[in-house]
Amino acid sequence: MGRQSAGNGFLRAAVAARGEGPVTAFTPFSASAAIFRRTVASMDPHAPVEWISAQRLDLLAQNGLLYRPDQVLGPMARQRLRVGPAAYSLCGVTHTLATHTTLDAIAKIVTEPVMPWDALVCTSRAALSVVSAVLDHEADYLRWRTGLAAVPALPLLPVIPLGVHTADFDFSAPDREAARARFGLAASDVVALCAGRLSIGGKAHPYPTFRALQAVAVEGGQPLVLLMAGQAYNPTIAAAFEAEAAATCPDVRVIFVDGKDAASYRSVWGAADFFVSLADSIQETFGLTPLEAMAAGLPALVSDWNGYRDTVRDGIDGFRVPTWAPSPGGGEAIASDYESGLNSYEAYLYRANTAVAVDMKALIARLRELVASPDVRRRLGAAGQERARTTFDWSVVFRSYQSLWAEQSAIRRAAQTRADTKAWLGQAPRSGADHMGPFETFASYSTHHVTAATSVSLAFDLDVEAYKAIIARRAFPGWNVDPPIYETVRNAMRAGPSTVGDLSNAIRMPELPLLEVVVRLAKLGVLALGS
């Protein structure tokens, strides 16, 4: 999937741009941190790595920013409440925007504690339009539901593209000859390349590509070859692509290349003469493969669809073919059937995809031009390669992220200097309603509450070894009072009854964690609570 490739590319850029500092991971689990360390080491064995666990939000505050490689900012913003909404900034990024979970996460930005010093990076102008439409719709709903005219301030929504490590796609003349030989291609063959997911609903319906190639093949005298490189979700989809190619473009030699074979997949970029991607899926938001084609020096023939508009300049780096779709307001039945569960996500994508058309006449004309003219291919390919290196290389794109993060920090610091904002921030709850402490949410359940004023006494003088034996049993799997703490409490309580507050002072333990210690020991009958 493109988001995994983009995430890997982003991390490579972050490691390369780290300077003398470490690359820091935030994850609840040490096992995940170990995977992160190995991943970074594979990119740069000398790069230092630090791990911040989920319990150490104070360390995140010292860092000043948390980047999450998706658009789900709400849970991170709620977690941040535990140290304050201005403790650090959050930054997310859009990928696929079509799933209901993704759209729901974006809509919730309006009501979640996401702040003006946070940011959701939109990878294309098309992505920004989707995010803005969802936020506007949710704001309108909120006004209707609450009767309030104002809605909370929103995060920054900058447009920063995904990137490509252009050096990965450098091919010398001998490299290109070897790549063509790998697939048995003759010097006279004109080779088109389709690369990426083999998904009818989730990427691009293959029929327009196959039909246009067939039309050009039967009217021209040159052998035409299509390299179809990528991975299908399952063998059934792979077989559907193969059958469609055989039925629709019998005069084109179609070579399917397994995207899981890294060496073969890399070779297709060196073997091809031009690139074709007629994306027509609402799941597609940016599209990395045209950038990879440009980096490889290939002219890109793409649909005029979503993020492709931001990467391929029509007539300069390649050609963009016009697309048609129903006007806004259409597709209500598609949305309703997906919402109700009648259609799966895949069916939802496919129904939408079948109602998107590529201008076939324009497609064939542009394809004919690319096949007929090596000079056009060279001119467009050279322009695209230069653009990839100067605009879309990850080293360039990552600097835009660094500038954004500096802007976020400046906004956050400035907000904390304003008296009205500072007072408002001080009134923030310490958690979201869905993650209050259990003894706050379920306060009505118990007969009594333990407080600093609650009296406590030693009911049973259990020695430390006997205590260790009890908590070692399977009925006590975790979250027991550590033996050293138990011994400290036991020794203090031998002096006689006390209150929880006095015990806190005597053993120098904060009251809040001591409340749990006292009740856990009362559960064992070691301590008695109340008069």
Within a domain: residue 475? yes
Within a domain: residue 433? no
Within a domain: residue 436? no
Shared-domain flag, residues 125 and 215: no
Shared-domain flag, residues 367 and 406: no
What is each CA distance from 466 to 275, 447, 489, in whole angstroms?
A: 73, 30, 15
Q: Tell me how far apart the alpha carbons of residues 15 and 47 are, in angstroms, rounded to a whole number.
A: 7
Q: Tell me how far apart the alpha carbons of residues 301 and 279 are, in angstroms, rounded to a whole number.
A: 11
Within a domain: residue 437? no
Provide mean pLDDT across the span 472-490.
Answer: 92
Shared-domain flag, residues 276 and 295: yes
- As beta bridge partners, residue 89 has 65
> Cβ(321)–Cβ(278) under 8 Å?
yes
pLDDT category of residue 20 using cuts at 50, 70 and 90: confident
> Cβ(103)–Cβ(283) under 8 Å?
no
Q: Are strands 89-93 and 455-458 parallel, antiparallel or unpaired?
A: unpaired
How many domains does the chain fold into? 3
Shared-domain flag, residues 234 and 380: yes
Burial class of residue 465, CB neighbours in 10 A (0-12, 13-18, 19+): exposed
Shared-domain flag, residues 147 and 247: no
Which of 81 and 330 is assigned the larger pLDDT? 81
Shared-domain flag, residues 374 and 500: no
Domain that holds residue 275: 166-392
Shared-domain flag, residues 122 and 81: yes
Which domain CATH number covers 213?
3.40.50.2000
Please report the pLDDT score of residue 1 as a whole number.
Answer: 56
- Report which of 502, 505, 470 is spatially closest to residue 486, judged by C-alpha positions: 470
Please report the pLDDT score of residue 149 as a whole number.
Answer: 84
Give the whole-number percent of the chain exceeding pLDDT 70. Answer: 99
- Tell me, yes or no, if the pTM score tops 0.85: yes
Shared-domain flag, residues 411 and 384: no
- Amino acid at the residue 419: A
Neighbours of 83 (CB within 10 A): 16
Only one residue has tokens 């060196």, namely 270
Length, in residues, of the chain: 531
Shared-domain flag, residues 348 and 497: no
Within a domain: residue 440? no
Provide mean pLDDT across the span 262-266.
Answer: 94
Q: Tell me how far apart the alpha carbons of residues 295 and 9 are, in angstroms, rounded to a whole number.
A: 14
Strands (DSSP E) contained in 144-270 are 190-195, 224-230, 253-258
Neighbours of 452 (CB within 10 A): 15
Shared-domain flag, residues 88 and 108: yes
Within a domain: residue 503? yes
pLDDT at 16 > cutoff 60? yes
**Contacts (Cβ under 8 Å, ≥6 apart) of 287:** 2, 277, 279, 302, 306, 307, 308, 311
Please report the pLDDT score of residue 280 as a whole number.
Answer: 93
Please report the pLDDT score of residue 478 as a whole number.
Answer: 86
> Cβ(112)–Cβ(101) under 8 Å?
no
Within a domain: residue 233? yes
Shared-domain flag, residues 116 and 156: yes
Shared-domain flag, residues 416 and 462: no
Provide mean pLDDT across the span 255-262.
Answer: 94
Within a domain: residue 432? no
